[in-house]
Amino acid sequence: MSSVLHLRGLFVSGVASASSARVARFSSPNKKKNYVSSVLMEDREAKPIDLVGGFLAKKPYNPPSWASHLNPIPTHIYSLGHLPTPIHKWNVPNLPDDTEIWIKRDDLSGMQLSGNKVRKLEFLLSDAVAHGADCVITVGGIQSNHCRATAVAARYLNIDCYLILRTSKTLVDKDPGLTGNLLVERLVGAKVELVSKEEYADIGSVALADLLKERLISEGRKPYVIPVGGSNSLGSCLTKQVHAFSVCDDPDYFYNYCQGLLDGLQAGVDMHNIVNIQDAKGLGYAISTAEELQFVKDTAAETGVILDPVYSGKAAYALLKDISANPTKWKGRKILFIHTGGLLGLFDKFEQLAPILIGNWGKMELGESIPRKDGIGKMF
């Protein structure tokens, strides 16, 4: 089965790491027993948030066998997602003969934390806690799913969160509002600092985060920096036979960027051998065409699966276009599409979506013969 996903950092990360690790841990009753015993021994004097259990538990990380040679390998994770997420057949219409699409529902990894980002944060926030951090810094676009997930996860672990969000030059001095991801971020108390797209391009995300880090250190804080998208070697994992769709930059950028992450893990793997990347950015990152939004609307109406406009929507749109244009290439294939969440991003597209959703409502027709209640609730 081929996997299909989309890139805004290293979105091949985490999909295999969390699920494969859990399978490896519990592959036999004895292994499960030993695992639980070791955690109970280790965490006997732990704080309540570290106690063994499910959600929010601190757990040792045992990599799957194919990843055992990587370096660095994290020692622990915090269980932040509702994993493993389900897989089901996706009844997309007009597929070629014998072509099947199945969908991995990482959009169901949790409500506030939904999406693939939680898989990276399980590793990254565990490292932040291990380093004694009392706050985290991360960077993203004004409707970044990663920033929203980081803000929620950090608050779960009683860590403050600082977000550097990229916006337009005309809005950088204005209140960013409460639309979509911003509403959740501000509800959980994240501190939002705005930069213009031009400042972001000139200075870069690393320098911006370092600038804020130095300021917080001078104030006596202990910050931990999480890179854009959580995409570094610690937050990454390998997978095979992936067809990826980049929703910003271009395929060459991602081949080079991801190769750096693989090299950081001492993986000894050529990125070109495990991932095929196609350009799906359209008009640009987070910019939706009318055709793309129509596709998101039609897909929801036909299958019940709601795609986000920035990531999964663009990736699925590009995939289905490729299938339509090259049916023999996909004939007889079983495809696993990874839905990485981002539902809240649709709220930012309200004005574009409104015209294509118009007309599917109306006042209910009530006949004269329908019994009515009188003033005291009796029917007459």
Q: Is the separation of the CB atoms in 251 and 278 below 8 Å?
A: yes
Tell whether omega for the bond before 64 is within 30 degrees of 0, i.e. cis: no
Q: Which two tokens stand for residue 336?
A: 């696993």
Catalytic residue list: 144
Element (H, E) at 130: helix 117-130
CB-based burial of residue 145 (10 Å sphere; 0-12 exposed, 13-18 middle, 19+ buried)?
Answer: buried
338-368 in b/e burial notation, b at 16+ Cβ within 10 A? bbbbbbbbbebbeebbeeeeeeeeeeeeeee
Tokens of 139: 């960077």
346-350: long-range contacts, CB 8 A cutoff, minimum separation 24: 346/180, 346/296, 346/306, 346/308, 346/309, 347/179, 347/180, 348/143, 348/179, 348/180, 348/309, 349/288, 349/293, 349/309
Cβ atoms of 85 and 319 closer than 8 Å:
no
